[in-house]
Amino acid sequence: MMATVSYPNRPAQPRPGPAMAKSPVTSIDVARLAEVSQSAVSRTFTPGASVAPDTRARVLEAARKLGYRPNAIARTLSTRRSRMIALVMSNLQNQFYPLVVERLSQRLQKDGYHVLLFITETEDADELLVELMRYQVDGIVMASTQLSSRLAQEIADARIPVVMFNRSTRAGRVSTVSSDNHGGGRAVAQFLAAGGHQRVAYLAGAEDTSTNQDRERGLRDGLAEHGLRVVARAVGHYDFERARQATRELFGPLVAASERPDALFVASDHMAFAAMDVLRLELGLRVPDDVSVVGYDDVPQAAWGSYALTTVAQDATAMIEATVGTLLQQLEDDAVSRGQVLVPATLVVRQSARRPVEGAA
Amino acid sequence: MMATVSYPNRPAQPRPGPAMAKSPVTSIDVARLAEVSQSAVSRTFTPGASVAPDTRARVLEAARKLGYRPNAIARTLSTRRSRMIALVMSNLQNQFYPLVVERLSQRLQKDGYHVLLFITETEDADELLVELMRYQVDGIVMASTQLSSRLAQEIADARIPVVMFNRSTRAGRVSTVSSDNHGGGRAVAQFLAAGGHQRVAYLAGAEDTSTNQDRERGLRDGLAEHGLRVVARAVGHYDFERARQATRELFGPLVAASERPDALFVASDHMAFAAMDVLRLELGLRVPDDVSVVGYDDVPQAAWGSYALTTVAQDATAMIEATVGTLLQQLEDDAVSRGQVLVPATLVVRQSARRPVEGAA
DNA sequence: CTGAAAGCGCTTACAG
DNA sequence: CTGAAAGCGCTTACAG
């Protein structure tokens, strides 16, 4: 008795005509041509699997002829490893982040990983992450974004390694990589104090971020060591336009000349550019003669002649190495402990802030 | 007779201890709890599939209880649709591209697509794309990257829609979206001519790109209409440092004052900033009094006070809409013809170039 | 080293 | 509307 064989999910006949797509070649097609089993094909494309040299050669030859490429999606379904890493970002306007996207992608590509990119407007990435997890990403890098503790727990339960980049977090079981924001802020304080500044103002980033909190604490701690304090403060929220507004609050015509700060530490270079433009072009103040400006990040534009911004450099390369290292380690061994990496931050002295006398050429 | 049932690919026993991962919940788990078939579960998560309201409710309730989320990888394997779009880029230093990454990601996310990001250092993305195709991406957006005609053909054979963003190409069966680079260049020529400039120089981007070629031809055509021509030319390759060098060639001390151009059209804003810094800070020339500078792109920094760059705006939003529209259309209907979309480019007048008299306030 | 076969977690044509 | 079952294209434990 012959069974009627039916093929669900396939049209009864291939679509006719020149527009017909070549149906993708699979390991079975290769096996047929090479006259080996489908397993043998799979093994020759699995590093470390045992295949006789002769078998391997025939498979590779057949694969070449057919233009075969193993289907990564099918592999993922079998192995539960997608070799995709989710990168979650919220703020590409700050020039530090394009650099991070670029370098991090390349670094992960080098290790055979691919980046699934998620941009979130809000800092809350929960909903996106749920979507992410459906794609079986092997790991998650959160840059400039926060994670609710509920979701952090869920991700931890699913054993997906997470690294917070440039953010720390209260949620447990998550590694973080950031620059030494407190140390950086403190170095700025020391530099300004040594330069004889008496009235230091602070232009804050988003107040709920660890970067802003640590940079500000570093500044305050460093100033205190010299008997100084922050005399004025406004919030720019890491946003260009709001930083302009904050600068007007701090230095605008309503501020008496005697009250005017003689130095401004800005929580990011991106905002520092806004501040410098307002100071010079709108308020007619000279930088650094009337007011010294110091930023944070050392983005490429900080070196541009029009700004020549003295700033704290975050070592992006070191931060990325630490991020990828942490991720790969956790990918290999789930039991690895979650740590906090702090990359040293160094002051880069340019022309936007008055220098200590002994530091001058 | 009882068959011995074995379970390959699964450890004989679950790993013990508190570190044991919850095994992911599948549609079968949900079906069991809801007391329906696995098919019914799948259908309630498939938009448009027919499920009785009561069944759906029980499934959703069970799914909620278990924290079930359909596995997107398994869905991809069945449907041959991954809902992933590959975005290939080479140059995030030019500020136009972070903007594109950000907006394009968000736009695609809105339609339920995800972005698989590939950064290539070289402009040749062939090897990366082969890797891409293994992930069954539904479509490809190539921004600032080229496609070899061999690979273009291969992708076309595989019926994967491709949109070249901000690049045109000689390879067939590929759609392109760009701004009207020729029209933009021509508008610059007219503006400079109307402003009374006599000696216009051109600072070129990478010479093998369509953007550079079209902008330059537009400039030359526009100048010719006014009896003018390009009196000097140097190549900056869309690179900041090389643009600085090119500016020195065009305006440096070796150039006799009588020979010095009175206007400079730069193929991208990114390079225009480099040029302005060299002109002002290194060569002591005033912009626009001694030399007018016009850029191309209208990146956010062009509006910064220190540059106030007159430039040609590329309408990123329109370009992205066109890109996504083209992509989705081809995703739905393979037979749709491949087209070339040209988005109008408009001159944005700021302070870096002398204005025509009748145009002044 | 090799092949047959089960399984990864879905979708969907088919037959009620 | 519903369930049983084949199929998507791999990987890998098992038994030679």
**Cα dist from A6 to A9, A10, A12, A150, A181, whole Å:** 10, 9, 9, 47, 65
pLDDT digits (tens, 9 = 90+) for A318-361: 999 999 999 999 988 877 777 889 999 999 999 999 999 864 43
Same structural domain for residues A118 and A102?
A: yes
Please check the confidence at residue B203 and state whether its pLDDT lies above 60. Answer: yes
- Out of B24, B92, B158, the one facing A98 most closely (by C-beta) is B92
pLDDT tens figures, A239-258: 999 999 999 999 988 888 88
Tokens of A82: 């997608």
Domain count, chain B: 2
Based on the fold, state whether residues A186 and A310 are members of the same structural domain. Answer: yes
Q: Is residue B60 part of a domain?
A: no
Quick one: what percent of chain B has pLDDT higher than 90?
69
- Neighbour order of strands in the sheet with B139-143: A340-343, A175-179, A162-165, A139-143, A84-89, A114-119, B114-119, B84-89, B139-143, B162-165, B175-179, B340-343
Residue B304 banded pLDDT, cuts 50, 70, 90: very high
Give the DSSP H/E element, type plus range, for residue A346.
Answer: strand A345-348
pLDDT computed for residue A337 by the predictor:
75
Where on strand D do bases come within 7 A of a protein Cβ?
1-14
Q: What is the CATH number of the domain that holds B201?
A: 3.40.50.2300
Residue B6 pLDDT > 80: no
What is the pTM assigned to this prediction? Answer: 0.88
Together in a domain, A154 and A116 = yes
Note which residues in 190-219 of chain B have CB less than 8 A from chain A. none
DSSP state of B97: H
Chain B residues 292-351 within an 8 A CB cutoff of chain A: 300-301, 304-307, 334-335
Residue B16 has pLDDT above 50, yes or no: no
Supply the pLDDT for residue B357.
80
Same domain (yes/no): A158, A278: no
pLDDT at A20: 42
Asked whether residue B303 is domain-assigned, the answer is yes
Q: Domain of B98?
A: 81-179+316-343
Concatenated DSSP letters of B190-236: HHHHHTT---EEEEE--TTSHHHHHHHHHHHHHHHTTT--EEEEEE-
Using CA atoms, how far apart are residues B312 and B297, in angstroms rounded to an integer? 6
Query: Which residue among A22, A99, A304 sits closest to B277, beta carbon to beta carbon?
Result: A304
Chain A nearest-CA distance from B100, in A, is 10
pLDDT digits 0-9 by tens, A130-142: 888 999 999 999 9
Are A232 and A323 members of one domain? Answer: no
Indicate if the pLDDT at residue B229 is higher than 60: yes
Q: Is B34 inside any structural domain?
A: no
Do residues A310 and A239 both lie within one domain? yes
Same domain, A219 and A107: no
Provide the percentage of residues in chain A whose pLDDT is more than 90.
69
Position B91 confidence tier, pLDDT thresholds 50, 70, 90: confident
pLDDT bucket at A280, cuts 50 / 70 / 90: very high
A254 token code pair: 């309503």
Least confident of A261-270, B75-84, B136-145, B165-174: B165-174
Kindly state whether residue A6 falls inside one of the protein's structural domains.
Answer: no
Q: Report if residue B359 sits inside a domain.
A: no
In a domain, B13, yes or no: no
Residues A321 and A174 in one domain: yes
Same domain flag for A86 and A135? yes
Are A207 and A309 part of one and the same domain? yes
Mean pLDDT for chain A? 88
- A9 — pLDDT class (breaks 50, 70, 90): very low
- State whether B193 and B302 are in the same domain: yes
- Within-domain flag for B169: yes
Q: Is the dihedral of CA B34, B35, B38, B41 positive or negative?
A: negative
Categorize the per-residue pLDDT at B124 as very low, low, confident or very high, splitting at 50, 70 and 90: low
The type of residue at B107 is R
Q: Which nucleotide is nearest to A11 (CA to C1')?
A: C13
CB contacts, 8 Å: A114 with chain B: 116-118, 131, 135
Q: Is B143 on the interface with A (CB under 8 A)?
A: no
Query: Tell me: the pLDDT tens digits for A55-103?
Result: 999 999 999 999 999 999 999 999 999 999 999 988 788 899 999 999 9
Give pLDDT, residue B18: 36
Tens digit of each residue's pLDDT (9 = 90 or more) over B247-275:
999 998 888 888 999 999 999 999 999 99
Are A121 and A236 found together in one domain? no
The answer to whether residue B82 neighbours chain A at the CB level (below 8 Å) is yes
Q: Is residue B172 less than 8 Å (CB to CB) from chain A?
A: no
Compare A18 and B100 and report the one with higher pLDDT. B100
Q: Does residue A64 form part of some domain? A: no
In the predicted model, is pLDDT for residue B12 greater than 60? no
